[in-house]
Structure 1
Amino acid sequence: MDVVELGIGLECEEEDGASDVVLFTFFMLFIGLFTRHVLAKVPIPYTGLLLVAGIVLGLAGSITETGAREKEERRLEREAEAAANDTSRLIAPEEVEVPEGVGEVVGKEIEYELPKAYEHLGRGMDAWTNISPEVLLLVHLPALIFASGFSMDFHIFKRNFWQILILAGPGVGIGTIMTGAVGKYVFPYGWCWPKALMFGAMLSATDPVAVVALLKEVGASETLGTVIEGESLLNDGTAFVFFLVFRDLIRWTTSCNTGECNGADRIREGLQHLCKCRHPEFELLHEDDRADCEGVPTLEEDPDFKQPFTPVCTFPHRTAGGTFAFFVRMAIGAPLLGSAFGIAASLWINYVYNDLVVEVAITLVTAYLTYYTADDLVGVSGVLATVALGVTMAVMARPRLSPKAHEPMEVFWELMEYFANSTIFIYAGVKIAKKIYEVEVDVDDDAEEAQFIEKADWGLSLLLYLFLQIIRLVTILMMYPFMMLSGYAVDWKDVLVMTWGGLRGAVGLALALIVDLDEERIDPKFRALTIFYMGLIAAYTLLINGTSMGRFLDYLGVTKTKPEKLEVLLHVVKVGAVLCIGRSVVFQCHLCLPVALFFVHCHITI
């Protein structure tokens, strides 16, 4: 290959943009690493800092894009004016003295260039913001969900299973309905019920990773931590099923799919017919175009007319029975499929001994294959299937692991969870920033974008946060009598901790990103509001609830040792001391007592 061919190849590779995507991916991981290590002392949950970092990064990118767009508009205006007057003359670069490296001279204006690395990051960020929602979920959710399920303490999970199921089943349903009612009657957007309930389902998915870690750190009840984590694990799957059901209803509900011929809707395929028919110069349209507009009133005849929005992917009308069957298939078929994959993988691990790579790889491959098979091939919930897989393998596979594989397996899945959290929270922050920074454009100027996030929406986000705290408390109180019928006892302090620990995180953000990227089936205003509210609620719960949880636990006295546990501990210490003194006398073992006390310290949970 000669030099020319090599140069062409390099140029094509540079324009491809794949390297920019990789660059931005590792830049997000670097931000996550910096946050986890350098900012470890900051009393804010790690994921909350990542979300803030993503918002800052997105704002910086939006400001840069706006500046470049304004500069281009000024250049075009200059050229148009010069062409009209026919008096302009471009000054050659050599005619103007410019310090080396400052910029390029175009006409009479010096245009400063951004650093090349920043341009590559910007292109990578743009590519990430347009990623397919299916790819986004396939990459992130299996790692997040399987890691939680596989690390679950199965003994406590089994003992509290019915409590967890009550919160993650009927509890999520009640929370979805009440949150949907807020979206329907409190918000001023006039959402239809399927949209409002999908919004409620999205906000019902909790992510108490920071809370559970704090409970373990301060020595709180392991039972409480398992109930909170188990509820989060199962309610992610339940909320996802509700989300899919109501998303499916939006597609054929007429009241959910109305649109006007303006703003961002103008570029939507489903409204092109309406836009053409209601054009102010309708009489000047071609005869064939006017013939297609039969039944559609002109702008003068009915200014307020709205035509049902027809999605690009249309679906037949679904009856109530069909919707129920869809829900049952999702809720029952998915756990059965996940359990089957889990049993098969566990049996495979049983025949592997002291091969660390194979044992870890089996869990990784099975997690992603299970999600893909359930979601794409079988048509059931990939989230619920992965939940069932994680719990099944925690029961069957973890005891069968080789002795040297336990710790590396734990580290590997903790690393996978860190990667997924880093990318999805920063990515969500970037998307939120881009929605916030969208500028309002006059519709009459043939604009393709409109302003959807207004000042009032910020106040509504705080109101929504307060409603969500009340809704979670009411939901847990409604489920409390049923929770007392099984499992370990739950007192009023546990109820308050579970209420305040209902953080929103990765799964809710992933669902919001699905809505935001679903340009073919959901109108743009609802998409913008969805990612805006979900992102801010995640930020509020992480920065307020997550940051204050430590003091809240101290105030409730949850971290204090109960008298009965302290009495048992002292009894064990006394018995151990007596036995060790006797053994030291008989066997002259002077290290017996310190060893026994160390054993008690390590294995007794206060």
Structure 2
Amino acid sequence: MDSQDHVHFQMSISGNSTSNVGEQGIGTVILFLSFGVIAACICKLILSQLLKNKVPAPFTVIVLILGLIIGIITAHINQMSNDFLLGEQELNGINPHLIFFIFLPLLIFDSAFNSRFHVIQPQIISAILLAGPGVFICTIIVALCAVYIFPYHWSWIDALMFGSILSATDPVAVVTLLHESGASKSLAALIDLESLLNDGSAFVIFSIFKDIVIKKATTTTSIIVEILKFTMGGPAFGLACGILAVFILNLLNNELEIEIISTFGLAYLIFYLADVELGVSAVLAMVVMGLYMAKHKYCISSRVQLPIASTWRIIIYFINILIFMITGIILAHSLVGTQKHVDAIDFGYSIVLYLALHIARLLAAVILHPFIKWSGVNLSWKEYIVLVWSGLRGSMAVILALMVDSEKVIDEMIRHRVLFHICMIALLTLTINGTSSKFVVRFLGLNHGMCTFIKEKKSYFIIHIIYVKF
């Protein structure tokens, strides 16, 4: 994020001069989110107790649909004096940079820090291939679709910016999908790590093309410098911070509160420094720092490791409810006709785009297969099907689309259509791919990881009982 974006971000969350969110506005947002969290918990109870978890949709998808329903209902109600409706309207107009800085640091760091590094390590090269050349291939194919199939007369730069947004898969949704589908550890680790890394690479590509569109980057030299700064500076800064964090945490001995709070503070601090102060990829910095700390988990005191895992699990569960609820609301307002320049036929183009994304991901997997095999990862054709099917687009893509929509320099027609199609793809992949993932994994006979997952949950509760008792 450049300095101008930073200034806009600061103004939009701190002063009433650029935002109508005053004391009452903040109160209405808290009221709505409180209702949303309670409603999501009630849905979870209904699913687990009454329906015995027979609904195939992951919980995050249920929350998304709940937010979507609430958004559609409130979009047709004009009584703005109601505090509940005011809170929903404020969330619909939320600054995307606010979501970016509040939610992403914890979500990305959690996925990296609480990963099993010994399982992920053999998959690193393959994940880099999928997140590097793979993202570039997907971006090109989506851009081709936007230029030659869509009748919008977009320029290639506009189309490439659009393609880069759709190349970013959602690590939150993917992790949930894999854990609940019973996929093998190695396959789950590859897809999980790929989703983390391709968020970073997709954001780099998106930033470059967005800057070109809004006339901030015009020379080849400046573009190359930006790419190198993002791709090299982010991981280097993350590694340096990871080494420093491990060193500091090693000095602490069974300091429960300090060690737990330090991990949360580090996530926010490093993300901010990387993105705002240094101008490097905060996502890649967070991934590298988290993975380095995961490799050196011994830096966390032995008696703190279980409480810190439990704390992160609860916080991330809460954040997932919030972010998917907000995403559902944004999807609703984008799909029910409040956006200009969107016609009924655009829904059909979104279906075409949905199919094109799977073709792009499949083509990327086929092209990169020899290199993935060379890296030591031998995937069967069945595992490649799961790899292609798990390319969910969610909150990350919606955040990037909202960033485009907030750039008034970009043509209004382009902004509205980009937001519409991104929201449609997020809705389609989360509902179709997300709900059918268990069936696909079981149909292909790849659900042998489910037994391991159940055993690990039982072991976790046994260890927790022993820890509490003694």
Q: Which amino acid aligns with 1:343?
A: I
Q: Which residue of structure 2 lines up, in the alignment, with residue 479 of structure 1?
A: 368
Q: Which residue of structure 2 lines up, in the alignment, with residue 501 of structure 1?
A: 390
State whether structure 2 residue 188 is matched by structure 1 residue 225.
Answer: yes
What's the Cα RMSD here? 2.4
Instruction: Tell me if structure 2 keeps the 8 A contact 1:208–1:229.
Output: yes
Give unpaired runs (5+ residues) of structure 1. 1-12, 69-113, 253-314, 440-449, 562-597
Q: Which residue of structure 1 lines up, in the alignment, with residue 47 of structure 2?
A: 39
Instruction: Tell me if structure 2 keeps the 8 A contact 1:209–1:229.
Output: no
**C-alpha distance in structure 2 between counterparts of 1:408 and 1:358, whole Å:** 12
Instruction: Tell me if structure 2 keeps the 8 A contact 1:180–1:196.
Output: yes
**C-alpha distance in structure 2 between counterparts of 1:400 and 1:370, whole Å:** 18
State whether structure 2 residue 71 is matched by structure 1 residue 61.
Answer: no
State whether structure 2 residue 434 is matched by structure 1 residue 546.
Answer: yes
Instruction: Tell me if structure 2 keeps the 8 A contact 1:142–1:367.
Output: yes
Instruction: Tell me if structure 1 keeps the 8 A contact 2:58–2:177.
Output: no
Instruction: Tell me if structure 2 keeps the 8 A contact 1:367–1:389.
Output: no
**C-alpha distance in structure 2 between counterparts of 1:37 and 1:180, whole Å:** 43
Instruction: Give 1:213 deviation, angstroms.
Output: 4.6
Alignment of 1:253-272 (within 5 A): none
Give unpaired runs (5+ residues) of structure 2. 1-20, 450-457, 463-470
Instruction: Give 1:451 deviation, angstroms.
Output: 2.8
Name whichever of 465-474 and 54-63 sits farther off: 54-63
Q: Which residue of structure 1 lines up, in the alignment, with residue 154 of structure 2?
A: 191
Instruction: Give 1:453 deviation, angstroms.
Output: 2.0
Q: Which residue of structure 2 lines up, in the alignment, with residue 124 of structure 1?
A: 87
Q: Which residue of structure 2 lines up, in the alignment, with residue 412 of structure 1?
A: 311
Deviation per CA, 1:402-430, whole angstroms, max 9, x where unpaired? 22222222222222322332222222222
Alignment of 1:496-535 (within 5 A): 496-516=385-405, 518-535=406-423
Instruction: Give 1:37 deviation, angstroms.
Output: 3.4
Instruction: Give 1:326 deviation, angstroms.
Output: 0.7
State whether structure 2 residue 299 is matched by structure 1 residue 400.
Answer: yes
Matching residue within 290, 300, 308 for 1:390: 290
Instruction: Give 1:63 deviation, angstroms.
Output: 0.8
Instruction: Tell me if structure 1 keeps the 8 A contact 2:184–2:448.
Output: no
Name whichever of 22-31 and 457-466 sits farther off: 22-31
**C-alpha distance in structure 1 between counterparts of 2:157 and 2:331, whole Å:** 23
- Structure having the larger proportion of residues in helix: 2
**C-alpha distance in structure 2 between counterparts of 1:421 and 1:529, whole Å:** 27
Instruction: Tell me if structure 1 keeps the 8 A contact 2:161–2:210.
Output: yes
State whether structure 2 residue 380 is matched by structure 1 residue 491.
Answer: yes
State whether structure 2 residue 342 is matched by structure 1 residue 453.
Answer: yes
State whether structure 2 residue 378 is matched by structure 1 residue 370.
Answer: no
Alignment of 1:6-85 (within 5 A): 16-40=24-48, 41=53, 42-65=55-78, 68=79
**C-alpha distance in structure 2 between counterparts of 1:505 and 1:23, whole Å:** 25
Deviation per CA, 1:367-422, whole angstroms, max 9, x where unpaired? 001111111111112111111121121122x2221222222222222223223322
State whether structure 2 residue 211 is matched by structure 1 residue 248.
Answer: yes
Over 3 Å counting, the alpha-carbon distance change for 1:49 and 1:214 in structure 2 is closer
Instruction: Tell me if structure 1 keeps the 8 A contact 2:74–2:85.
Output: yes
Q: Which has the higher contact order (CA 8 A, sep 6+)?
A: 2
TM-score (norm 1): 0.67
State whether structure 2 residue 236 is matched by structure 1 residue 336.
Answer: yes
**C-alpha distance in structure 1 between counterparts of 2:426 and 2:40, whole Å:** 17
Q: Which residue of structure 2 lines up, in the alignment, with residue 580 of structure 1?
A: none
Matching residue within 142, 147, 166 for 1:179: 142
**C-alpha distance in structure 2 between counterparts of 1:15 and 1:403, whole Å:** 44
TM-score (norm 2): 0.85
**C-alpha distance in structure 1 between counterparts of 2:173 and 2:23, whole Å:** 41
Instruction: Tell me if structure 2 keeps the 8 A contact 1:216–1:222.
Output: no
Partner SS, residue 38 of structure 1: helix
Deviation per CA, 1:462-509, whole angstroms, max 9, x where unpaired? 111111111111111110010000133212111111011111122112
Instruction: Tell me if structure 2 keeps the 8 A contact 1:45–1:543.
Output: no
Q: Which amino acid aligns with 1:199?
A: F
**C-alpha distance in structure 2 between counterparts of 1:401 and 1:345, whole Å:** 10
Q: Which residue of structure 1 lines up, in the alignment, with residue 164 of structure 2?
A: 201
Partner SS, residue 76 of structure 2: helix
Instruction: Give 1:188 deviation, angstroms.
Output: 1.3
Instruction: Tell me if structure 2 keeps the 8 A contact 1:161–1:487.
Output: no
Instruction: Give 1:210 deviation, angstroms.
Output: 5.2
Over 3 Å counting, the alpha-carbon distance change for 1:400 and 1:183 in structure 2 is same
Q: Which residue of structure 2 lines up, in the alignment, with residue 163 of structure 1?
A: 126
Q: Which residue of structure 2 lines up, in the alignment, with residue 71 of structure 1?
A: none
Q: Which amino acid aligns with 1:494?
A: E
